[in-house]
Structure 1
Amino acid sequence: MGYDCFVCLFSSVEARDAVLCGGPWFIGGNIVGLDRWTPSFSPASMEGLSSPVWIRMPNLPLQYWDDCNIYRIASRIGVPLWIDAQTGNSGRREYARVCVRMNLANKLQSGVWVNGMNDRFYQKVEHEGIGLMCYGCGKVGHQKEFCPSRLGGQGDAVNRRNVDKRKQGGQVESNSESCG
């Protein structure tokens, strides 16, 4: 299919759904986005790709430590899928942990504003297990040195060439400009 893309065929709808709804999935320490194929899919873009991602909400105020509020806050990041067992049974108070399905083309949020019982407050959010992320534009799927916003939209093509050259032991392209 192209650069870092694979087609998976399943023997049953149940097996396919178990893989698509399961996860998050990791290969070689990198999160893998799994979605049903659509005719508009492009392997050069993260558009349309989503993936389950575990997020942490550190220092969540105690009065919001219930399933309803945790899901409400997590829904500002993505579609909440499930709360981990330690969070659900109040086994941990350092952070609430919830898995959300995130659109991988969107910028990762470092936190969200929450309308609380008495006031608004800012809830910090930490994303777990996202290996390939740009700290310039905040998106998943490339590193800062290959950021499409910095390279005039050519980041994916440069990234593919550099990965191929690294595999062959060659020199990679470089650009001294900074991203963002």
Structure 2
Amino acid sequence: MERWVENPPSDFLQFVPLWVQIKHIPVNYDSEKAITTLGDLVGKAIPVAFDPEKSQRQEYVRAQVKMNIANPLNKSRIINLPKECGSVEVLYFYERVQKRCYHCQSDS
């Protein structure tokens, strides 16, 4: 939510903060820096809900991302890993986005 101003800047009301669940992160890349980078692929990662001291038992990690409303929501990204690790598809699920199926992200 942005406060109204008399002379708004050019990017006024163009960005919205969303919580994103990031799934299928490779075990070796379960770090705050890697998760922030994955969040930056769909927007600008603000905070990441990651505590390296706690066991990561959930199937996803949450990050808050500042999204440009003019861009479509990415459901997944192919990440090329170094050396012989190949590539992996990382999935993104956007929390509380209206008019989208939570599971498949298609328009309702």
Shorter-chain TM-score tier: 0.7 to 0.9
SS at match of 1:77: coil
Higher RCO, 1 vs 2 (CA within 8 Å, ≥6 residues apart): 2
TM-score after normalising by structure 1:
0.46
State whether residues 59 and 93 of structure 1, in contact with CA within 8 Å, keep that contact through their aligned partners in structure 2: no
Q: CA deviation at 1:115?
A: 2.0
State whether residues 75 and 93 of structure 2, in contact with CA within 8 Å, keep that contact through their aligned partners in structure 1: yes
| CA displacement 1:113-132 (0-9 Å, x = unmatched) | 11213222110110011114
Corresponding residue for residue 17 of structure 2: 52
The CA RMSD over aligned residues, in Å, is 3.1
Q: 1:7 to 1:97 in 2, by over 3 A?
A: closer
SS at match of 2:3: coil
Q: 1:128 to 1:7 in 2, by over 3 A?
A: closer
Partner Cα separation in structure 2 for residue 96 and residue 111 of structure 1: 14
TM-score after normalising by structure 2:
0.72
Q: CA deviation at 1:58?
A: 1.8
Question: Comparing both structures, which one devotes a greater share of its residues to helix?
Answer: 1
Q: CA deviation at 1:75?
A: 0.9
SS at match of 2:67: strand
Among the aligned pairs, what percent are the same residue? 20
Partner Cα separation in structure 1 for residue 23 and residue 35 of structure 2: 12
Corresponding residue for residue 112 of structure 1: 77
Question: Comparing both structures, which one devotes a greater share of its residues to strand?
Answer: 2
| CA displacement 1:22-77 (0-9 Å, x = unmatched) | xxxxxxxxxxxxxx933686xxxxxx611111111123221110011111111110
Gaps of 5+ in 1: 1-5, 11-35, 42-47, 145-180
Large movers: runs of 4+ above 4 Å: none
Q: Rg: which structure is higher?
A: 1
SS at match of 2:35: helix
Gaps of 5+ in 2: none
The number of residues matched between the two structures is 99
1:38 is aligned to 2:9: yes
Corresponding residue for residue 60 of structure 2: 95
Corresponding residue for residue 45 of structure 1: none
State whether residues 20 and 64 of structure 2, in contact with CA within 8 Å, keep that contact through their aligned partners in structure 1: yes
